[in-house]
Chains A and B, each alone.
Chain A
């Protein structure tokens, strides 16, 4: 306990906690939509794209990497959604192509133009999140907070419409809801969330942050609103306890959070079974 209090005196630990909570909140919100719309794989593919973009940013020596990763990831999200609908190359194949391609190019770039002497360390950090506590610059913290707030506001504002296109896109379209714009909005928000969450848990583990709280919540709750609210609470709780555990146990922050998410999923599954 004392260690924790000592740590909380450092501003970067407080930053990590604030940003961690916000990211966890955002990433869980659209989780239900993603899982139910069978979009989970898009999230996975995009995180690889974000890795590639991150590598490019590292190579070009940008101090604020989100400036590059954010637009590239958003662009790919829109592209993937588009190809998914007008399938010349089938959606999942397109995603596999783009995501594996981005991984390869990213790794290659990082090796050819090493930004630091420890290339494998850099790669590992980008893939799995920082090995120790999360360190963020002040501008990254501010950007994360602003983006998170925008995501939450958008989600609340379009909650009813998101529900409608998730439950039945054809019906929504038939009664005149602009589903294309909504899908575009969903894809953009996912891209933003992935870029944000990559700081916290690394690009390979991002999907876990999006999917686990939603799946856990769906085991227990029976209406969309409670599923959404509970998955947000659960995600925040897991992120908080994950970050604190990682400080106390000196473990990598990303995987610790994901492990707490897994534990929560198991508990929820059992609870759901008992409830019937």
Chain B
């Protein structure tokens, strides 16, 4: 069943069109990697899916009881967050804000969900730690736990392994794979083409060349093989 369908999207800003006539769909339990050169519009696409930005043309349909605000989002870290005085629990709990509704404070269910997700990602012992005192990998896991609090269906990850060392990067990929195996749809922006090909089920390549399809087909395609070789050489 398709959760997300993008039809003839045109993305960009007022005078600049980044990408045009973009159509693809994501089904439940899918693992989609979005790859492409810098400036191809990957982040813009993600912002459009999250409704942070309007498409210049085209439409996005949300199905399967999914709405933009029920997507768990893992943004790239901002400078502000690097020395933010907040405990791990406070950060994870803030992922429940879409269940606040008109209430002012988080209820027991929200607190339990935050605790459960922290346990799931092995953060329970760090609950009272200060976010800024954590390592890069731990911080990413905290933000992933927060994203999980916001969703039961779909995660959107913006370069989740940027700046992490190879071991932690691997752990992060395995963690995301485990979540995907448990049934959560994953859409990920990635520059790491080797891992994308290894873990993803579908690839969306935007920019100078366009591809949308399964990983197997991508490896055989012109866009894919060139990109994969380029990635290996680099």
Given contacts A171-B73, A173-B52, A174-B71, contact A224 B90 (CB under 8 A): yes
Which chain B residues (29-84) contact chain A, with CB distance < 8 Å? 50-52, 67-71, 73, 75, 78, 80-81, 84
Q: Are A164 and B94 in contact, with the CB atoms below 8 A?
A: yes
Q: Does B157 contact A (CB under 8 A)?
A: no
Given contacts A160-B100, A160-B105, A225-B90, contact A38 B71 (CB under 8 A): no
| In the complex, chain A residues whose CB is within 8 Å of the CB of B85 | 32, 218, 221-224, 227
**Chain B proximity mask over A98-110: 1 for CB below 8 Å, otherwise 0:** 0000000000000
Q: Does A177 contact B (CB under 8 A)?
A: yes
**CA of A163 to CA of B104 in the docked complex: distance in angstroms?**
12
Q: Are A168 and B78 in contact, with the CB atoms below 8 A?
A: yes
**Chain B proximity mask over A137-173: 1 for CB below 8 Å, otherwise 0:** 0000000000000000000011111011001101111
Q: Are B86 and A224 in contact, with the CB atoms below 8 A?
A: yes
Identify which of B3-11, B128-136, B160-168 touches chain A: B128-136
Q: Are B52 and A170 in contact, with the CB atoms below 8 A?
A: yes
CB-CB nearest in chain A for B91: A167
**CA of A37 to CA of B71 in the docked complex: distance in angstroms?**
25
Q: Does B200 contact A (CB under 8 A)?
A: no
Given contacts A160-B106, A163-B94, contact A174 B68 (CB under 8 A): yes
For chain B, what secondary structure do more than half of its interface residues adopt (helix, strand, loop), or is it mixed?
A: mixed
Q: Are A164 and B97 in contact, with the CB atoms below 8 A?
A: yes
Q: Are B80 and A36 in contact, with the CB atoms below 8 A?
A: yes
Q: Are B75 and A167 in contact, with the CB atoms below 8 A?
A: no
CB-CB nearest in chain B for A224: B86
Tell me, rounded to whole Å, the shortest Cβ–Cβ distance linking A40 to chain B: 13
| In the complex, chain B residues whose CB is within 8 Å of the CB of A223 | 85-87, 89-90, 128, 130
Q: Are A160 and B104 in contact, with the CB atoms below 8 A?
A: yes
| In the complex, chain A residues whose CB is within 8 Å of the CB of B90 | 163, 223-225
Total interface residues in chain B, CB < 8 Å: 35
| In the complex, chain B residues whose CB is within 8 Å of the CB of A222 | 85, 87, 128-130, 133
**CA of A160 to CA of B35 in the docked complex: distance in angstroms?**
35
| In the complex, chain B residues whose CB is within 8 Å of the CB of A274 | none
Q: Are A168 and B75 in contact, with the CB atoms below 8 A?
A: yes
Q: Are A177 and B97 in contact, with the CB atoms below 8 A?
A: yes
Q: Does B146 contact A (CB under 8 A)?
A: yes
CB-CB nearest in chain B for A170: B75
| In the complex, chain A residues whose CB is within 8 Å of the CB of B89 | 223
Q: Does B150 contact A (CB under 8 A)?
A: yes
Q: 30 A–B contact pairs at CB < 8 A? A: A158-B104, A160-B100, A161-B97, A163-B90, A164-B94, A167-B80, A167-B81, A168-B75, A168-B78, A168-B81, A170-B73, A171-B73, A171-B94, A171-B147, A173-B50, A175-B70, A175-B95, A175-B98, A176-B68, A176-B69, A218-B85, A221-B85, A222-B87, A222-B130, A223-B85, A223-B89, A223-B128, A223-B130, A224-B86, A224-B87
Q: Which 3 A-B pairs have the closest CB atoms?
A: A176-B69, A222-B130, A223-B87
A interface with B by C-beta (< 8 Å) = 32, 36-38, 157-161, 163-164, 167-168, 170-177, 218, 221-225, 227
- Knowing that A174-B71, A175-B71, A223-B90 touch, tell me 20 more A-B residue pairs with CB under 8 angstroms: A37-B80, A158-B104, A160-B104, A167-B80, A168-B75, A168-B78, A171-B75, A171-B94, A173-B52, A174-B73, A222-B129, A222-B130, A223-B85, A223-B86, A223-B128, A224-B85, A224-B86, A224-B87, A225-B90, A227-B85
